[in-house]
Structure 1
Amino acid sequence: MRRRDMLLGTAATFSLGACADSKFRRYTGPEVTMVYVNKSARRMHLLHHDTALSSYDIHLGFAPEGHKQFEGDGKTPEGTYRIDRRNPNSDFHLSLGISYPNVNDVQVARAMDKSPGGDIFIHGQRHPRKPDGKDWTWGCIAVTNDEIEEIYAMVADETLIVLSA
């Protein structure tokens, strides 16, 4: 009986320990009112009005110069968008969707007889133990898995995101 109790206790401890390693964090600090991405500096800032709460080094699309114009161009959008969805089951750990394309983005792509694309996210790494190179995404904004856990907890849906050159 004693051995059974010890085994059950050990199993419970490991189960509870796994919960502590959850990728879903809680955030109780000031509201993030805007996400600001400076593409040329490769930095992203989470702001509460005019105060920076957190800042991160970022990786962009594999062709980072200029505004995204069509699907597959490897560019990260520029302009003002919103965080419009979240993916807890992302292939890149966790991800927050950006409301690209807007009406203007669609018009520009269609004028070139192309699709504007979509599925632009802030997300984590491809392989958590293998560092990614510089500017490796198809137009997304990438951070480390640890950082996306923090960002995912801090940034609410409908938060404004400004992406500048």
Structure 2
Amino acid sequence: MQLSRVSVSLLALCTVGLLSFSGHNYRKVRFNRLNSELNGTPRILVDKTDYELSIFDDEGWYATYPVVFGEKTLGDKMWEGDRKTPEGEYKIVSKRPHDKWGKIMLLDYPTPADWAKYKERKAKGLIPKNKGIGNGIAIHGTWMRDDMAVDYFQNWTNGCVSLKRSEMDELFEMIPIGTKVTIRK
């Protein structure tokens, strides 16, 4: 069977398209000490600018996971409903399975430092009078079958930090309640 020039061209375009799609550079977890347990007390650093959640232990950097957030500007949380991820020092106060996001680790937002920022901003008129500070900020997985949101930097949460579901499962197993979490821009 001979193929016409048009058929060959279409076949070439389809092959190039498939190769391009299959060669997509998915965001991957990076490990410093692969196949090694955490040593000592873990700490989490969330870097909003780099869209990363890094784990440190007593030996230093352990692993980095790709993450996404809420609102696209990546600004600091101002009030409930602004979809921004807060910046500051937090700790994990609870962990549990979640119907929508697989697993969830709740942070102690708002802290006294968050309340101080909120009151100062409100006094300056930066926050509308009818807006509260909010709560319920967490680290959690994506919606079922929606891990691509992380690969494509699609900020979709209401201010939480979101990982791919399988990566959230890993994090959930290794990070205890009480772990310190720093979120910065």
Query: When the two structures are superposed, what TM-score results if normalisation uses the length of structure 1?
Result: 0.75
- The amino acid across from 1:149 in the alignment is D
Structure 2 match to 1:128? 145
Structure 1 match to 2:174? 154
Distance 1:61 1:91 in 2: 16
- Root-mean-square deviation (CA, aligned residues, Å) is 2.1
Conserved in 1, the CA contact under 8 Å of 2:85 and 2:159?
yes
- Paired residues for 1:110-125 under 5 Å: 111=122, 112=127, 113=129, 114-125=131-142
Structure 2 match to 1:55? 64
The structure-2 alpha-carbon separation of the partners of 1:129 and 1:74, relative to structure 1 and needing over 3 Å to count, comes to closer
Query: When the two structures are superposed, what TM-score results if normalisation uses the length of structure 2?
Result: 0.68
> Which SS does the other structure have where 1:94 is aligned?
strand
Distance 2:90 2:147 in 1: 31
Segments of 4+ moved more than 6 angstroms = none
Conserved in 2, the CA contact under 8 Å of 1:33 and 1:49?
yes
Which runs of 5 or more structure 1 residues have no equivalent in the other structure? 1-26
Identity of aligned residues (%): 24
> Which SS does the other structure have where 1:116 is aligned?
coil
Distance 2:73 2:58 in 1: 27
Shift of 1:64: 4.2
Shift of 1:50: 5.3
- Paired residues for 1:7-156 under 5 Å: 29-49=38-58, 51-109=60-118, 111=122, 112=127, 113=129, 114-128=131-145, 131-132=148-149, 134-156=154-176
Which runs of 5 or more structure 2 residues have no equivalent in the other structure? 1-35
Aligned residues: 139
